[in-house]
Amino acid sequence: MLIQQAPTRDALNHRAAQTNANSERGDETRACKASKDIHTRTHNTRALARVPVESATIEHPIHRQRIATPPHLYQFAKMEAEKMRPIELQSPEDLRYLIGKVRSAAAQNLSKLPPSQDPAMMQRVEELLDEYIMNVFTRALPNLTINGLPPNLPITAYMQPVEEFEPFDSRLQAAVVSLHMEIEQRTLQLTAMRRDAPTQLRELFDNDWTAEERRGEKLTKSWEEKLNATEPEGLVVRDVERHEEAEATKKKAEAGLQEIQTDLTRVLGRLTRASAAANYILEKERSG
């Protein structure tokens, strides 16, 4: 059986001194860490204090209200973004697309709610929702790169609608040119018909009238010869046949006039439709 020897006074003093030394070293280490922590916090506080409030203040694009983001949150997001790999976007249109998709999804979910009888409350909910979306993208903006460069514009610049232009279409241009040429041709045809149609109609009428006069003279002369060669009792006058021939000539002249009027109406209708089509294409190009 082993009997443990009691420690001597010197051993106890040595152990106590060693414990005190270790305790002092631990206090020194903890004090050093605390000092570093205080220095770091002081440095961060001074850095945050140097951040102007305006740098974290954004303007709502719809309600035109100033929305203040706390500077320490903005700076914290910026410091955290420097430690991570940024999200790479190819163009500003990608960021606008993301913001538009988030806003449309929020609007769809908001429309699923039962309708409220208080319009002011619904308006306030929409304002808070837009404010939340703007804050999310504002804090995510330092962690984004557009075409390899950090975004140099505020988030409101990416939330505004951008006017887009449709690319040039050579086929539409060729169609417009063709319609303009057709309009010019129809205009020339209509002008020529307005200038020549009355003259042609008058010449046709004069020719028919002259032919009818000659025919009437021949019939009159033949009737006179028959009258002279025939006794009064055996004379037969054919006034009915002459009246029918005159009616047929009149109907023929009226049919010619009606045909010319129909041609003029048809050409005028084509010209009107071609002009309307050209105006439609021009308005489509201006609005596109």
Asked if the model's pLDDT at residue 35 lies above 80, the reply is: no
For residue 133, the model assigns a pLDDT of 86
Quote the pLDDT of residue 206: 80
Report percent pLDDT > 70 for the chain.
Answer: 63
pLDDT one-digit tens code per residue, 216-238: 777 777 777 766 765 554 444 45
pLDDT number for residue 210: 82
Measured in degrees and rounded to the nearest 5, phi and psi for residue 35 equal -65, -40
pLDDT digits (tens, 9 = 90+) for 106-125: 888 888 877 777 788 888 88
Alpha-carbon gap, residue 202 to 214, rounded angstroms: 18
Per-residue confidence (pLDDT) for residue 182, from 0 to 100: 92
Lowest mean pLDDT among 56-65, 159-168, 177-186, 202-211: 56-65
Q: Are strands 87-89 and 144-146 parallel, antiparallel or unpaired?
A: parallel
User: What mean pLDDT do residues 51-79 have?
Assistant: 51
Residue 39: predicted pLDDT: 45
Task: Report pLDDT for 49.
Answer: 38
> Do 182 and 274 form a contact (C-beta atoms < 8 A)?
yes
Contact by Cβ (8 Å): 278, 175: no
Kindly report the pTM of this predicted structure: 0.33
Tell me the H-state helices in the chain.
9-50, 71-83, 92-111, 119-140, 155-159, 170-229, 239-287
**Residues, the chain:** 288
Which own/partner pairs from 168-174 qualify as long-range (CB within 8 Å, at least 24 positions apart)?
A: 172/281, 172/284, 172/285
How much is the mean pLDDT over the chain? Answer: 71
**CB-CB neighbours of 4 under 10 Å:** 5
Question: Are 21 and 116 contacting, i.e. CB atoms less than 8 angstroms apart?
Answer: no
pLDDT at 243: 64
Give the whole-number percent of the chain exceeding pLDDT 90.
4
For range 3-12, the mean pLDDT: 52
Query: Which is more confidently placed, 286 or 99?
Result: 99
137-141 contacts at long range (C-beta below 8 A, 24 or more positions apart): 137/95, 137/98, 137/99, 137/102, 138/56, 138/58, 138/69, 138/74, 139/69, 139/73, 139/74, 139/77, 140/77, 140/87
**pLDDT of 264:** 76
The answer on pLDDT for 283 being more than 50 is yes
Per the CB < 8 A criterion, the answer to whether 57 and 68 are in contact is yes
Q: Residue 58: which H helix or E strand, with range?
A: strand 57-59
Interval 247-271 mean pLDDT: 77
- The CA distance from 19 to 124, in Å, is 65
> Three-class SS of residue 234?
helix
